[in-house]
Structure 1
C-alpha cells in the first residue's frame, strides 16, 4: 500500500484562530513595521498607521495589495489575535483613543499571535490518528495556552513566550515522528539550506523539513505528503503540481508566500491563494 495514501485526519480550523478583520482595529496595519522592498512599496515604522488604512480600520487597497506593491501584507495572518486583542484584551477600546497611542496594544498583538500559532498546531495534533497517544496531552496544553491568551495586557507582556513554546514544541516533535513513521526512510532536511534547490518531482513523503530554507526552490510535482513543514520558509517556492496533502503544520501564510497552480493538491481546510495561477 502506498504510505502516502493513508489519511492523517481532517485539518481543523477553529473560528477563533482565523482573522476577523471586521472585529479588529486594523492592528496589523499599525503595529508592524514595513521595510521598502519587493514585499512593501514603502517604509513604515512600527506603531505608524499604514497610509492605506481607512477611518473604519479597513485597508483601502485590500483587493489589490500585490498590484500596489504590498505582497508582504498578503502573507501575514494574525491567526485571530487581532480581534482577541481588540475585543477581549482591551475590551473594544480603540487604539486611537488610548492615552499611549496604542503602544501597549501593539506590543500585545505579537504575543497573542504566537499563542494562537501554538493553539493552531495543537489542534492539528488532535486530528492525527497516528498521534492518538498524544491527544490528551495536546488538549491539556491547548487549555493552558488558551488561558494564557485570555490574560490581561500586563500579564501578556510579562509572559515568557519562549518558555511556553518549549513543551509545546516537544509535543509537536513527537506527534510528527508518530505521523511520519509510516513512510519508509523519510529524508531528514531539518533546518537545511535548500534555497533555489531543484527538487522537481522529488519524493519527499514524510520528510523532516522543519525550519528548512526552501526560498525559490523548484518543487513542481514534488510529493510532500506527510512532510513536516513546521517553520519551513517557502517564499518564492514553486509548488506547481506538488502534492502537499497531509503535510504537517503547513499554514496559509506559507502557501501564500509560495506559488502554485490548479494542479497543486492541498490539505483540507487550506484554501488556494488568490494570486496562484
Structure 2
C-alpha cells in the first residue's frame, strides 16, 4: 500500500465525521459536516463496512481519500484523534478535504511521470512535473494552519496545465504509433454525454477530461489511452469496455460506474 492509498486502520474515521452528505441514491439519510456517522464505532471503524452498498451507503463505497485520511491523522495531527483532543476537531475536519485534493494531485503527477518511462517526456516537461510534485508534497507536510493556507486554485491550475501537456503528448504518440483516427467531434473535453449511446465506439486517445458521462452506455467501447481526468462516470455502463492505459482514471470514478 502506498501513501496515496487509503489506509483506514491509520485514520480517525475522518470521512465518516468531517464530510456532510444528503439523503439520495448514495446515502439513506442526511448528515451535517462534523457529526459522526451513526455507523462509526468507537475505534473509528465502520460498523456496516461489509454491507455498505446493500444498506444504501453507496457514497461510502465510491469515496476514496487517496490516503489523505491517514496523512491528516498521523502526520498533521501527530496521531492524536478528535476524540482524544476535541479542541482540534474543527481544524482536523477542515484540513481533510484540502489534503484530499493535494493527494489526488500527487496521484496524477505520479502517473504523469510514469508515462515518460517508455518514451521520454522531454527534460523541460519532466522537470516541471517534478517541481510541481515537490511543491504539492511540501504542502501536505505542513501544519494544519499551513495546509489550510494553501492556494488550491493556483496549484490545481498549474498541475492541470502540466497534465494537459502530458496527455496531449501521450495521446498523439499513440495515434502516430498505432494509426488511431481522431475521435469524433462530439467527444471533447467537458462534453455533455449524459445517457449517450457509445456502445462499441472507438474512443481511443479521446480527450474526455471533465466530460459528463453520467449513465452513458459505454459497453464494449474502446477507451484505451483516453484522457478521463475529472470525467463524471456515475452509473456509466463500462461492462466490456477496454480501459488499458486510460489516462488519469481514478478508483472513485470506476467505483461510481457499472463494471
How many angstroms apart in 2 are the aligned matches of 1:136 and 1:179? Answer: 17
Corresponding residue number in structure 2 for 1:68:
55
Q: Structure 1: 5+ residue runs without aligned partners?
A: 1-13, 261-277
Q: Contact 1:131/1:178 (CA < 8 Å) preserved in 2?
A: no
Q: Structure 2: 5+ residue runs without aligned partners?
A: 176-180
Corresponding residue number in structure 2 for 1:176:
167
Structure 1 counterpart of 2:141, from 150, 153, 159: 150
Moved over 6 A (4+): none
Structure 2 counterpart of 1:141, from 132, 147, 159: 132
Structure 2 counterpart of 1:43, from 30, 36, 44: 30
Q: Contact 2:183/2:202 (CA < 8 Å) preserved in 1?
A: no
Identify which of structures 1 and 2 has the higher relative contact order when contacts are C-alpha pairs closer than 8 Å and 6+ apart. 1
How many angstroms apart in 2 are the aligned matches of 1:122 and 1:99? Answer: 35
Q: Contact 1:53/1:59 (CA < 8 Å) preserved in 2?
A: yes
Q: Is the counterpart of residue 33 in structure 1 residue 30 in structure 2?
A: no
**TM-score for the superposition, normalised by structure 1:** 0.87
Q: Is the counterpart of residue 132 in structure 1 residue 121 in structure 2?
A: yes
Q: Contact 1:85/1:108 (CA < 8 Å) preserved in 2?
A: yes
Corresponding residue number in structure 1 for 2:207:
208
Q: How does 1:103-142 map to 2 (within 5 A)?
A: 103-129=90-116, 130=119, 132-133=121-122, 134-142=125-133
Task: Report how far residue 135 of structure 1 moved.
Answer: 2.5
**TM-score for the superposition, normalised by structure 2:** 0.93
What RMSD, in angstroms, separates the aligned Cα atoms of the two structures?
Answer: 1.2
Question: What SS does the aligned partner of 1:72 have?
Answer: helix
Q: Contact 1:131/1:175 (CA < 8 Å) preserved in 2?
A: no
Question: What SS does the aligned partner of 2:17 have?
Answer: helix
Question: What SS does the aligned partner of 1:17 have?
Answer: coil
Q: How does 1:1-277 map to 2 (within 5 A)?
A: 15-100=2-87, 102-129=89-116, 130=119, 132-133=121-122, 134-181=125-172, 182-183=174-175, 184-187=181-184, 188-260=187-259
Question: What SS does the aligned partner of 1:147 have?
Answer: helix
How many angstroms apart in 2 are the aligned matches of 1:39 and 1:227? Answer: 27
How many angstroms apart in 1 are the aligned matches of 2:56 and 2:86? Answer: 33
Question: What SS does the aligned partner of 1:85 have?
Answer: helix
Task: Report how far residue 186 of structure 1 moved.
Answer: 3.2
